[in-house]
A and B are shown apart, each in its own frame.
Chain A
Amino acid sequence: MLKKLAAFSKKFFFLNQEEHDPGLEAEEVDALRLTFKSRYHSFKLLLAANTRILEGMADIERALQGNESFSMSFVQTHCTAISVNVFRMINDMENIAPGKYTALKDSFVAIQKRIDALLGARKKIVDRRLVIPLEALNSDMTDLVGGKMANLGDIKNRLQMNVPPGFAITAAAHELFMQADGLQREIDRLFQVAGSDEDRNLDLVSSQIRQLIMAAEVPEAIYLAVVDAYSAMKAANQDQEIRMAVRSSAFGEDAANSSFAGQYRSELNVGFSQFFYYYKQVMASKYSVQAIAYKLSRGFRDEDIAMCVGCLAMIDAIAGGVIYTRNPLDSKDEAIYINSTWGLPKAVVDGNDLCDLFVVCRDDDLTILRREVQRKGFQVVCLEGEGCIRTETDDDLAVKPSLTDRQIRELADHAIRIEQYYETSQDIEWAIDVEGNVFILQSRPLQQMEAVLPGPELDLKRFEASLIVEGGINASPGVACGKVFKVAKKVDILQFPEGAVLVVDQALPTWAPLVARAAAVVSEQGGFAGHLANVAREFGIPAIFGVKGAMARMHNGDAVTVAADLGRVYLGNIGPLLEWTRPEPKLMLGSPVYESLAEVSRHIIPLHLLDPEARDFQPQNCRTFHDITRFIHEKSVVEMFNFGKDHSFSERSSKQLHYRVPMNWWILNLDDGFTHEIHGKYVKLDEIASIPMLAFWEGFAAIPWDGPPALDGKGMTSIMFRSTMNTALVAGVKSKYADRNYFMISRNYCTLSSRLGYHFSTMEAMVSERSGENYLGFKFKGGAADFERCLGRIHFIREILERYGFRATINGDNLNARIEGHDMAYMIGRLKILGYLTLHTRQLDMIMGNSALVGYYMNKLTRDIDSLLP
């Protein structure tokens, strides 16, 4: 581009000898002025769109690092915003150069089609059955009824174990429900209107969506299918009414490595008269605050998750709980862990009470290795009518083991058979009814972690003075430190600071959204089988549960170190323990949302059109949106320069800067860059009205150049050698690379192509009251010394630019720096820096082999720059 600009500007210079071109009538001049004004307006709009696109691409690149969670709405919004702005640039380019680059639209359409295909790809549900009885289910039907119900089908029909009778309401029913009356469309809209992932008020949007779902009518086809299935169950039960457990069986729920533990609603002991109310409650729970936060942090796409619903006859349990077929905290431990309590298993999974733990060996006798019988002060039981209640357990019963040895072995036997069937360790929910029958209520893959214990060389006695809490259950291993924040009420959630240690009385699933934001979790109640423990393990957050007195002994704001594997909390930051921290899992990597973004970004971000001088720099060769924007940006600058020549219109051609003497700086006024219309050859500095150019010039002229740096012998040799290879570098040889600098300006805009010494640089700036549209771009390339030294200078400049807030990248010997979105005063300061550097980095490539000189110049340059800034 530089070479072309040089050529154009030379021509303008020679054209620029008269006030108006001979042969142009006054009306023609007016028409040309208006056309130029209109094109310049399009040029400005194009540049603003280009800035928004670059910002959007930077957001996508940041998201693809996988450190932060983002939703499908982020992907959709960014793709749409970028597409719209690329389209806008194409339209503006059409106004700047009518009919000249029409192939851009074809390239755009082709790229857009590829992106649409990726974003629109959805699994089609082929089986349209709305309700399927449990007898007909198996684990091949996960895509139809969700993992939970599909697995129960296996356990009942293939393993012949007891599972309560029931049926599943399918993914096809979910689709029918969500499409009726445009429900899903309205939900998508509410999500988007609620703002970006960070700013969104989750409570508000969650409540709006759940209200919509609760207000929706259940489509008649679903209603009739459910009534049929229930009637069949009732007929098999001597025509007695059956109370039901209505449970979520959503896609992704219960899959390996993503538990959705406790995120969705389950309603127990529901009479059929209330059934559809609770069916909708379960459907609505897909949008509970916990579920939205979880999906966001794990990268699930909302549209991928069909909320299937499992309906099972209620088991009035005398005991229930959760079996881990192996130790979740130690993948090498093969024992079976049975967590058990009186009443329904809900008390175990909700984590609000202590429960018994029985550890069983896999030997032939199923030897019971360990019994930890807790005081189970409360149990959850079915009410006579509907619903359940958490009730106090009699003192005598509370301290008794909730399982007999025979029951423990029977459960262990079930566990081993289920694990063998799935060929992977399992997390199994079970209940025992009044007649002593074991029922399996759920089975899903168990997440296991490697046990990491401190080496024997770590002397824990050293830290005993700081010990404040001891004796809890390791619910999720690891060590972390942070400031204590106690959460007692839901409203405390809003104030929870990122990176704090969450301290609670009960390990309730309600606190799940906080886990991903916490450094560690400490709870007075709960065991390692609860939902919250599952979530903590999934997110790699250390957690200690069952710590009596934690709420009293830990104080808000105190920095503490939580060592979950030791079941201890220490006051202060205990460095040697923290070295034992596990790496944070990058949960977004590989998730469906992440993969969607990664795939579409391949059609947006890569840049193939690198060299404007190359023959393939053509609109039809644009393969990504970045190619299109790069092409348009390049050509729009050239077209604006071309206007004067193409229309033989000297008013829009360049003037030579007169600053004390005529200088090698040529200036093209795009609009309001001069204080008044300039006739003749020269423009004086005080006739320039361009804010960015004046700022640049102020930096350029502020401190006189000391002249070339004192060369060391090697630097000189390097230049002499290159001069014999490249005549452009030899003084006195006429070259197209002679020092020439071209500005294109308006009041708020400035672009500069310059060659000073032996390097090229381009600078482009928009600086106005519109902070959001302000930007400053700087490119730098070349030098007289050898490649290594040129590269040395480029790194030198990058270091300085980064110190002052620029984002800078180096590709080959090209430096590319950018900054945007700041107010005028800030941008003016950065322009002064660029002006200063343009002059003062001249010939610095020559000293790049000498580290003492490099240090000297780094100090000098930063000192000078600091003196330029307010």
Chain B
Amino acid sequence: MDKKQREFKVLLVDDEDVFREATARQLSVRGFIVLTAASGEAAVELVRNDPPEVVVLDQQMPGMHGSDTFIEIKKLDPLIEVIMLTGNTSVDNAIELMQMGTFDYLMKPINIDELLYKIEDAYTRKKLNEKQQREAGQ
């Protein structure tokens, strides 16, 4: 996929400043338009005002938890694809999130290429779902 095709908005939500800034920089270098938020509340606000195509969302955050943030984002736009990041290896947790409809689930520490692939795949899925929804509505 070339750089031009990648020009879509990705929102990266994580309360760890170092991780968020470093990951955002790496994604920008690879041609994404990256928005960042340091909390669930800020992320929901951003989605409301400037909706991205894909959200990369940390699960463990002080204040609004990742799962709650996910629910709020889906309420605003059910077609936004969300990739969860977590430092917690619990299987229950992972499956619960997948059942709730997250696009995928990545465990920290992440491999930046793997995250990149997931974001691209999530974007493709979103575009396909949008088209299918449009066709169904016609």
Q: Are B87 and A87 in contact (CB under 8 A)?
A: no
Query: Smallest CB–CB gap between B69 and chain A, Å?
Result: 18
Query: Smallest CB–CB gap between A59 and chain B, Å?
Result: 14
Chain A residues near B135 (CB, 8 Å)? 30-31, 34
Instruction: State whether the Cβ of A723 lies closer than 8 Å to any Cβ in chain B.
Output: no
Cα of A44 to Cα of B94 in the assembled complex, Å: 22
Q: Are A80 and B90 in contact (CB under 8 A)?
A: yes
Q: Scan residues 731-780 of chain A and give those whose CB is less than 8 A from a CB of chain B.
A: 770-773
Chain B residues near A73 (CB, 8 Å)? 89
Q: Scan residues 84-100 of chain B and give those whose CB is less than 8 A from a CB of chain A.
A: 87-92, 94-95, 98
A81: contacting residue among B60, B107, B128, CB under 8 A? B107
Q: Are A83 and B109 in contact (CB under 8 A)?
A: no
Chain A residues near B94 (CB, 8 Å)? 80, 83-84
Query: Smallest CB–CB gap between B119 and chain A, Å?
Result: 12
Instruction: State whether the Cβ of B113 lies closer than 8 Å to any Cβ in chain A.
Output: yes
Contact string, B64-94, partner A, CB cutoff 8 A, digits 1/0? 0000000000000000000000011111101
Instruction: State whether the Cβ of A621 lies closer than 8 Å to any Cβ in chain B.
Output: no
Instruction: State whether the Cβ of A91 lies closer than 8 Å to any Cβ in chain B.
Output: yes
Chain A residues near B32 (CB, 8 Å)? none
Q: Are A88 and B104 in contact (CB under 8 A)?
A: yes
Q: Are B95 and A76 in contact (CB under 8 A)?
A: no
Instruction: State whether the Cβ of A45 lies closer than 8 Å to any Cβ in chain B.
Output: yes
Instruction: State whether the Cβ of A79 lies closer than 8 Å to any Cβ in chain B.
Output: yes
Instruction: State whether the Cβ of A390 lies closer than 8 Å to any Cβ in chain B.
Output: no
Which secondary structure characterizes the binding site on chain B?
helix
Binds B, one of A111-119, A445-453, A464-472: A111-119
Query: Smallest CB–CB gap between A171 and chain B, Å?
Result: 23
Q: Are A83 and B131 in contact (CB under 8 A)?
A: no
Chain B residues near A88 (CB, 8 Å)? 98, 104
Q: Are B113 and A772 in contact (CB under 8 A)?
A: yes
Contact string, A64-98, partner B, CB cutoff 8 A, digits 1/0? 00000000010011011101100110010000000
Given contact pairs A83-B95, A116-B92, A193 touches B109 in the complex (Cβ within 8 A): yes
Residue of B nearest to A38 (CB): B128
Cα of A799 to Cα of B1 in the assembled complex, Å: 37
Instruction: State whether the Cβ of B25 lies closer than 8 Å to any Cβ in chain A.
Output: no
Q: Are B91 and A79 in contact (CB under 8 A)?
A: yes
Instruction: State whether the Cβ of B132 lies closer than 8 Å to any Cβ in chain A.
Output: yes
Given contact pairs A80-B94, A84-B94, A192 touches B114 in the complex (Cβ within 8 A): no
B125: contacting residue among A41, A84, A87, A119, CB under 8 A? A41
Chain B residues near A41 (CB, 8 Å)? 121, 124-125, 128
Cα of A45 to Cα of B105 in the assembled complex, Å: 13
Chain B residues near A79 (CB, 8 Å)? 89, 91
Instruction: State whether the Cβ of B111 lies closer than 8 Å to any Cβ in chain A.
Output: yes
Chain A residues near B104 (CB, 8 Å)? 84, 88
Q: Scan residues 227-275 of chain A and give those whose CB is less than 8 A from a CB of chain B.
A: none
Q: Are B88 and A189 in contact (CB under 8 A)?
A: yes
Total interface residues in chain B, CB < 8 Å: 28
Instruction: State whether the Cβ of B108 lies closer than 8 Å to any Cβ in chain A.
Output: yes
Q: Are B128 and A87 in contact (CB under 8 A)?
A: no
Contact string, A7-42, partner B, CB cutoff 8 A, digits 1/0? 000000000000000000001001100110110010
Q: Are B109 and A84 in contact (CB under 8 A)?
A: no
Cα of A34 to Cα of B138 in the assembled complex, Å: 14
Q: Scan residues 98-148 of chain A and give those whose CB is less than 8 A from a CB of chain B.
A: 112, 115-116, 119
Contact string, B117-138, partner A, CB cutoff 8 A, digits 1/0? 1000100110011011001001
Cα of A773 to Cα of B124 in the assembled complex, Å: 17
Q: Are A189 and B60 in contact (CB under 8 A)?
A: yes
Q: Are B113 and A770 in contact (CB under 8 A)?
A: yes
Cα of A718 to Cα of B89 in the assembled complex, Å: 56
Q: Are A76 and B89 in contact (CB under 8 A)?
A: yes
A34: contacting residue among B89, B95, B107, B128, CB under 8 A? B128
Q: Scan residues 11-28 of chain B and give those whose CB is less than 8 A from a CB of chain A.
A: none
Chain A residues near B129 (CB, 8 Å)? 38
Chain B residues near A84 (CB, 8 Å)? 91, 94-95, 98, 104-105
B117: contacting residue among A77, A112, A195, A773, CB under 8 A? A773
Query: Smallest CB–CB gap between A52 and chain B, Å?
Result: 9
Chain B residues near A770 (CB, 8 Å)? 113, 117
B91: contacting residue among A34, A112, A185, CB under 8 A? A112
Query: Smallest CB–CB gap between A419 and chain B, Å?
Result: 44
Q: Are A87 and B98 in contact (CB under 8 A)?
A: yes
Cα of A44 to Cα of B125 in the assembled complex, Å: 11
Q: Are A192 and B88 in contact (CB under 8 A)?
A: yes
Cα of A192 to Cα of B107 in the assembled complex, Å: 8
Query: Smallest CB–CB gap between A110 and chain B, Å?
Result: 13
Instruction: State whether the Cβ of A405 lies closer than 8 Å to any Cβ in chain B.
Output: no
Q: Are B128 and A37 in contact (CB under 8 A)?
A: yes
Cα of A88 to Cα of B95 in the assembled complex, Å: 9
Chain B residues near A772 (CB, 8 Å)? 111, 113-114, 117
Q: Are B111 and A112 in contact (CB under 8 A)?
A: no
A195: contacting residue among B60, B88, B109, B138, CB under 8 A? B109
Chain B residues near A190 (CB, 8 Å)? 87
Query: Smallest CB–CB gap between A282 and chain B, Å?
Result: 27
Chain A residues near B113 (CB, 8 Å)? 770-772
Q: Are A77 and B89 in contact (CB under 8 A)?
A: yes
Cα of A837 to Cα of B64 in the assembled complex, Å: 58
Chain B residues near A188 (CB, 8 Å)? 88-89
Residue of A nearest to B138 (CB): A27
Cα of A27 to Cα of B136 in the assembled complex, Å: 11
Question: Mind listing 27 A-B residue pairs with CB under 8 Å?
Answer: A27-B138, A30-B135, A31-B135, A34-B131, A35-B132, A37-B128, A38-B128, A38-B129, A45-B125, A77-B107, A79-B91, A80-B107, A83-B91, A83-B95, A91-B98, A112-B91, A112-B95, A115-B91, A116-B91, A119-B91, A189-B60, A192-B87, A192-B89, A193-B87, A193-B108, A771-B113, A773-B117
Q: Which 7 A-B pairs rank lowest in CB-CB distance, beginning with the nearest?
A: A76-B89, A189-B87, A193-B87, A38-B128, A193-B108, A195-B109, A80-B91
- Contacts A41-B125, A185-B88 given; 14 further ones with Cβ under 8 A? A34-B128, A34-B132, A45-B121, A77-B89, A80-B90, A80-B107, A81-B107, A83-B95, A84-B104, A91-B98, A116-B92, A189-B87, A770-B113, A772-B111
